[in-house]
Amino acid sequence: MKTVEEIKAAIEAAVPGAGVEVVHNPGPSGQHSLRLDPSHAVEVAKFLRSDAELAFDFLSNVTGVDWPDREVTEKVRVTRPVTRTVDGVEQTVEETVEETRKHVERGCLEVVFHLFSIEKKHGPLVLRMRTVNRTDQVELPSLTPVWRSAEFQEREIFDLYGVVFKGHPDLRRILMWEGFKDHPMRRDYVEPDDFDYEPTAHDEVLARAKAHQAALQAAAVGHEGTGAD
């Protein structure tokens, strides 16, 4: 298989302005990955699937990862003017000091795709995409139209992480029930003390059956009424 750098070059030749970035994996597995720009992801995916040499026809695994906001502490050297009294005379001197600064690195939700080729029997190629933040801009393009195997896995990520996949044909919760509010796989998820009510499979069916029976009964009563006259 081509290296990720070569694949990056091939993508950039085929999809101009794709904005692909190599993410180095420092571990011994040597599975480096490519970070895609969400706005070009579907085009890049179509290219990877249909290119005769790469032929990544098999999307094996789709994973959601949560990267919460984190406080980064770093030491910086700063130079600043200091007023000092030297021998009774006030002087302003430049002084370099080491200072500890803290800032908050904004978190995001990440989706990781593992691609293989059944035709060429190579892989894995790891792709990643990141949302802008974890709260309101959590949209990513869905790759389900390109690889159907993403269908349930993207639903699972939507359910457990809250990533909204644009273009998914049937984006619903898959493991938790409809009406569940939170996203349990997020790292800051807090379990509620108690679930008072868990819906069962038959609630909806039961409600419709009751409505149906009621309608039948109403019709029967109406019929009887006209018959007596």
Partner 1 sequence: MTKIGTKLGFGRKKKPEGWNRPPVIEQTSEGELLEVAMGPHHPSTHGVFRMNLALDGERVIRLKPEFGYLHRNHEKLGEGQSYLASMPYTDRLDYLCSLTNNWAYALAVEKLTGQQVPERAEYLRVILSELTRFQNHAGTIGFLMQDMGCSGTPLMYAFREREKILDLFEELTGSRMMCNYMRFGGCRVDATPAWLDATRKVVAGLPAFLDEFEALLRSNEILMARTQGVGILPPDLAVNAGITGPLLRASGVNYDIRKVDHYGIYDRFNFKVPLGDHGDVYDRFMIRMLEMRESLKILDQALKEIPGGPVVDPKAKIRGFRPKPGEAYGRIESPKGELGFYLISDGGPNPYRYRVRPPSLINLTVLEDMSLGQNVADVVLILGSVDIVMGEVDR
* 3 state DSSP class of 210: helix
Query: Is 114 a binder of partner 1 (CB under 8 A)?
Result: yes
**Contact map string, positions 56 to 95, toward partner 1, x by CB under 8 A:** -xxxxx-x-x------------------------------
- Amino acid sitting at position 167: G
* Total site size for partner 1, rule CB under 8 A: 42
With CB under 8 A as the contact rule, the residue among 75, 102, 202, 223 that binds partner 1 is: 202
Of residues 27 and 227, the one with the C-beta less far from partner 1? 27
Is 43 in contact with 56 (CB distance < 8 Å)? no
In the complex, the smallest distance separating the C-beta of residue 13 from partner 1, rounded to whole angstroms, is 19
Distance CA 133, CA 127 (A): 19
Task: Measure Cα distances from 68 to 105, 161, 185, 219 in Å.
Answer: 9, 12, 12, 58
- Which uninterrupted H or E stretch holds 215? helix 203-228
How many CB atoms neighbour CB 168 within 10 A? 19
The single residue among 55, 132, 164, 182 that binds partner 1, judged by CB under 8 A, is 55
Task: Look at residues 166, 182, 94 and name the one whose alpha carbon lies nearest to residue 134.
Answer: 182
- We find the least distance from the C-beta atom of residue 190 to partner 1, in angstroms, to be 12
Report how far apart the first and last C-alpha atoms of the chain are (Å, whole number): 86
Q: Is 42 in the site for partner 1 (CB under 8 A)?
A: no
Question: Between 97 and 175, whose beta carbon lies closer to partner 1?
Answer: 175
Contact assessment for residue 113 and residue 61, using Cβ atoms and an 8 Å cutoff? yes
**Residue 28 vs 81, nearer CB to partner 1:** 28
* Choice between 8 and 152, CB closer to partner 1: 152
Strand partners, 114: 61, 126
Q: How far is the CB of 5 from partner 1 (least distance, A)?
A: 18
201 in contact with partner 1 (CB under 8 A): yes
Contacts of partner 1 in 126-165 (CB under 8 A): 126, 145, 147-153, 160
Nearest residue (CB) to partner 1, 43 versus 151: 151
Q: Report the nearest approach of partner 1 to the CB of residue 214 (Å).
A: 17
Residue corresponding to tokens 């409809």: 178
Would you call 134 exposed, middle or buried from its count of C-beta atoms within 10 A (0-12, 13-18, 19+)? Answer: buried
Element (H, E) at 46: helix 41-50
Residues making contact with partner 1 (CB under 8 A): 25-29, 31, 49-50, 55, 57-61, 63, 65, 112, 114, 118-119, 121, 124, 126, 145, 147-153, 160, 169, 174-177, 184-185, 201-202, 205
